[in-house]
Structure 1
């Protein structure tokens, strides 16, 4: 870890030498070799997603969570993703989605993360594939980023989308696992008893059904133990909602663009199998380090004892 950072700064980052032992835990697939489920289960696959996806086992995962590069210029360690035309990004997206669908089980679910602009193209791809009867679009989740750069001539961009698609109309959705605990501001009583809410020592609350707008996600930042030096890391809390809703204990969760491993780590914490592909060796090292830490610490910020709390309201957060 960097020597000169504040004691409160928990950001995961280390030198190439420090990361070597974690890189050695990764799986490096041989080119053009068909992969068996047993050799990649609970593994971080280091390599190019497009090359590896072609050789992945069929019907491997109950759930795929994909966070592909958004269609903008962004540097990911040694790789720079360049913005493409809408048609080029359409073809890029359709290519990897088509490669992922055979990996998904017949009753499986896929979530695709994107920003507002990429969402337009991704929606077009998904509508095309739905028309071809290759998937079913179930919903679009929009989640609020609580921080973002201001803009002098535009509205500040502070939300992102997640497309919820399934392979068929038979799929897992565990409603009770993803209810949110909200404070009751106006506690209405009937016959002297709480109506549709509960009383506790911590206050009045109601466990509500989740909507497709999420305002309770904290983006990982420097004082959070899950934070890494990856530039576009997703919060474990966000991933926990997707994993709990759309898979069961013992199922397999696959991430074709693994990044710093948030999907794999959250899946492990929640009792699922995992597998992720990541091109950048440094991010593979972050993933393996975090998977090791998850052996001792299974906490997920904002989620406790089976309950999702509003931002900054969970006990001991």
Structure 2
């Protein structure tokens, strides 16, 4: 589901909102730390979990120190007096343990889907735990991909590159909206999710998520655009703009008067993109109390695109 993605602050915020109402949330795995169990692009589903029922082997969705969402496996649970400590590790390096607090835990992963098929997540397959040499080989193999990602990220900061990339890509990229999926838990937790995807020759190169919450929730006043992601090679080519336009069109078709999104205050490129499309920054003080609690002052800026007859 290149929808909500690991490593993003908006996933952490959205998960907190959904879990507070006993809902479930689905998102895309991103990264290699949970290899071989989970791969980049796997669709994960998480549910809220009582921290005191967590056991060794569970895969947790938790907040990192910088308020981003991450997923790792519980390697040990210990009790010190009345205090409970959780130790996590990655499946790619199960012997490297680290500690998190109970307060950082948001939910537990209950299922994973790859290429339309469910995969096992209950344990690291026997014989597949990586040795130190295997981890080194894996890192060396991924070096060209990581290096190219940095190069293209740097190139996309130049206007000439962006114009050239956009001119080439625009006529070839196809955009699709996947059927809405309704998640519900207890009454008042329903939300409709549309997957917005960009394809080039059948390969997904970008995605975002269009979400509509129930009216009586902090995010319920208008639909939301979450988790914009474009592959590094294609950044600057207008894919993000195309996905945003698709979300705006979806909001218009749904009869909404506005569409909202969250963006990091330091993500100036994204903020400029949204401004150029008619979005405006909403002052923190103008947000509802519920949204202020979810967004967090100084951590992110709420952008709200007002849809009117002028387009």
TM-score using structure 1 length:
0.27
TM-score using structure 2 length:
0.28
Higher relative contact order (CA 8 A, sep 6+): 1
